[in-house]
Copies of this chain bind each other. A is one copy, B any other.
Amino acid sequence: MQHLATDKVIPTEHIIEALEAVIKSGDKVVLEGNNQKQADFLSRALGQVDTDKIHDLHMVMPSVGRPEHLDLFENGVARKLDFSFSGPQSLRIGQLIEDGLLEVGAIHTYIELYARLYVDLTPRVALLAGFKADRQGNIYTGPSTEDTPALIEATTFKNGIVIVQVNEIVDDPQDLPRVDIPGSWVDFIVQSDQPFYIEPLFTRDPRLITDVHVLMGMMAIKGIYARHQVQSLNHGIGFNTAAIELLLPTYGESLGLKGKICRHWTLNPHPTLIPAIESGWVENVHCFGTELGMEDYIAARPDVFFTGPDGSLRSNRAFCQLAGQYAVDMFIGATLQVDADGNSSTVTRGRVSGFGGAPNMGHDPGGRRHASPAWLDMRTDQNPMTKGRKLVVQMIETFQDANKPTLVESLDAIAMARDYEMPLAPVMIYASDVTHVLTEEGIAYLYLAKSPEERRAMVAAVAGITPMGLARDPEETARLRAEGLVAYPEDLGIRRAEATRDLLAAQSISELQQWSQGLYQPPAKFRSW
């Protein structure tokens, strides 16, 4: 190997030979694919190795997001895959499984995959990505530190080999903005042929937020956040929760809630959070990863964001997922299907899409021992043996589109388990963890249900005109509302007519930029005003 590298630097054009020298057939190889940082140069190079030399690799990947990730299986370099999320590649994974070219080890949440790196999935080789390196291998990951610390530690300290692709190699260590990964943890660096792929995944254009989203956001703020005194939280990435972010400085302010709720966040740096930050709602935000365009704004708000002395974000998915699991009062997010009991799934037939982080943040962590007002408010008795609970809120419209109800009798995940002979159905969030279901019809306070039957009646009560909703017993629904187990907007003192887009603190990307005093720089695809 030493003839292929100068000190730690592998010349770009030698990368395929270098991989052939380092990797052995059958090796466990961690390939860094995150939501937003891709070791794509290394994955393309790995796809070009001589399959007589390297085959049947066992790939371990947080996110399988790029076509070249799956080329590895099609051409025989790799055989087995342990992963967390596949997103755009989910359909092709299903096809490769059916074709017998890809064997799934298991599908995980992000942090349970990291956890297994220290137990039974310890890698022999790690292929990672950073922005810059010096010749000693010190790495600047910039705002996209993401999964790198969790992946590298398991490899470096178990005699594995670490190769990091970077966009740029600097000669003088002083030219690194900061050190995110110490050079002594890195065996080799290589400058990629082009900067690693990154896209703005978490930017929601306020123009696409509807009046229905606003109504649901108002119900969330008044009927859940304020009622339970939610201080710390994680938001999903949909338009529903973006609406809430944009309602805090307007509707939330009118209810006198500033400083009382939503002070601490575990969240990517959503541009839709800018008005709430600028209005003084947000004390701090810890991030899984970053978001393109937010760089200058983040640098100007080190009081809110976790940053380095260089001003750029320090994200860390392992710690942020841990915080989202153990330290926050509430998880709220959307999903594609909810069944009559309240179980949810994002599975669609034929797509093996994985779990990402939702099941981790969207469950009541049984190891939690500290209390907070919101957590204690989930108790239904005062027995000192009764714990509080994390709030886990499913926020959904009753229909995905005109013909596709979100509330269904049976999850597609069950058919999926049968199709792929999975040991169990890929459920995203189990009913036993869900405390609230919120639709445009109302809120079902499921944590108050006294029986499984009552629980199902509560879900049906907010199921609108889906078949599940139409089958409900009106008298039972009236009882649930009278007893406070279900609340419709009018029960919360919210008039549907008030719920309009006018309430949003920003109604376009351009207005978000104004809130940021020009610091937020929207990527080109969002500059359509």
Task: Give the B-binding residues of A (Cβ under 8 A).
Answer: 106-109, 111-112, 114-116, 118-120, 122, 138, 149-150, 153-154, 156-159, 178-179, 181-185, 231-232, 263-264, 266, 283-284, 286, 302-303, 306-309, 314, 316, 318-320, 322-323, 325-328, 343, 355, 359-371, 376, 384-388, 414, 417-418, 422-427, 430, 432-433
Contact = CB atoms under 8 A, between A and B. Distances in A.
Nearest to A183: B179
How many of these chains are in the complex?
Answer: 2
A116 B432 CA distance: 25
A105 to B, nearest CB: 8
Contacts of A423: 371, 376, 388
Classify the secondary structure of A's interface with B.
loop
A64 B159 CA distance: 34
A439 B218 CA distance: 54
Of the listed residues A263, A367, A425, the one surrounded by the most CB atoms of chain B closer than 10 A to its CB is A367
Contacts of A371: 106, 423-424
B302 A369 contact: no
Given A316-B153, A384-B414, A112 B158 contact: no
B286 A327 contact: no
A321 B111 CA distance: 12
Contact of A284 (B158, B266, B314): B158
Contacts of A432: 366
B179 A118 contact: no
Contact of A370 (B108, B153, B159, B365): B108
Contacts of A184: 178-179, 309
B424 A385 contact: yes
Nearest to A418: B384
Given A118-B323, A120-B283, A157-B307, 10 more contacts: A115-B325, A115-B326, A118-B306, A118-B322, A119-B327, A120-B231, A343-B385, A366-B366, A369-B426, A385-B424
Nearest to A386: B424
A283 B307 CA distance: 39
